[in-house]
Amino acid sequence: MAPVSDVNEVPDDELLRRHLVGDHEAFGELFRRHRERLWAVALRTLGHPEDAADALQDAMISAYRAAGRFRGDSAVTTWLHRIVVNACLDRVRRNKVRAAQPLPEGGPEPVSTEGDPSKVATNMAVEEALNALPFDQRAALVLVDMMGYPVSETGRILDVPEGTVKSRCARGRTRLAELLGHLRNPDADPVVPSTSPRADRRGESGT
């Protein structure tokens, strides 16, 4: 086993193997290595920091417990992303059941409010539009357009064929172009939902 000082150079699959043989630090190191990207996926997929935090914790515990079922068919990071996306989907379903409950007021915004005010406003509009998409389209766009993953890897994360990823991305982008049309052409009639996507997102986030 490599000394602690070399742990940063230990490959992901080796950390997972060490976890399975009882190395108490290995899984923590593995998760720390990827958690910022996993957090970003959860945050952008769910659109709400508290939900994203819950999903990320659920995913972390699931991965910890299910490590023995990792077969090595994909990269460890792909496997972790898949677990996070599934945890996000679980949370969307739960929230859908509880759609009648209003969101708490004053919740934190998942968009940084620092910087150019016009960019901040644009980002908030994009975020709201993104949250109005069905979950499958949103997840595909988050992984491909926001996180920059190749379509092939996104397909493995979402456990769907590449063609399905492409079609979800295409439909999602088309819908976003409609929703955000007013940002490009302020004189045109904006094609926006009749109600704020944020107000409805828990209820209409389809699966």
Q: What is the DSSP track for 27-84?
A: HHHHHHHHHHHHHHHHHHHH--HHHHHHHHHHHHHHHHHHGGG--SSS-HHHHHHHHH
Tokens 């023995």: give the residue. Answer: 68
CB atoms inside a 10 Å sphere around CB 207: 9
Q: Could you say whether residue 90 binds other proteins (CB under 8 A)?
A: yes
| Residues 133 and 172: beta-carbon distance below 8 Å | yes
Binder among 10, 181, 203, 204 for other proteins (CB under 8 A): 181
Residue 88, CA atoms < 13 Å, CB-side half-sphere: 32
Map the footprint of other proteins across residues 146-175, applying CB under 8 A: 146-147, 151, 165-167, 169-170, 173-174
Binder among 14, 78, 122, 203 for other proteins (CB under 8 A): 122
Q: Is the Cβ of residue 94 or residue 107 nearer to other proteins in the bound state?
A: 94
Per CB under 8 A, which region of 8-16, 68-76, 109-117, 186-194 contacts other proteins?
109-117
Give the C-alpha separation, 86 to 41, whole Å. 11
Map the footprint of other proteins across residues 17-56, applying CB under 8 A: 22, 24, 27-28, 31, 35-36, 39-40, 43-44, 49, 53-54, 56
Nearest to 173 by CA among 121, 126, 207, 118: 126
Per CB under 8 A, which region of 7-15, 73-81, 115-123, 190-198 contacts other proteins?
115-123
Give residues in contact with other proteins (CB under 8 A): 22, 24, 27-28, 31, 35-36, 39-40, 43-44, 49, 53-54, 56-58, 60-61, 64-65, 90, 94, 98, 101, 110-112, 115, 119-120, 122-123, 126-127, 130, 141, 144-147, 151, 165-167, 169-170, 173-174, 176-177, 180-181, 183-184
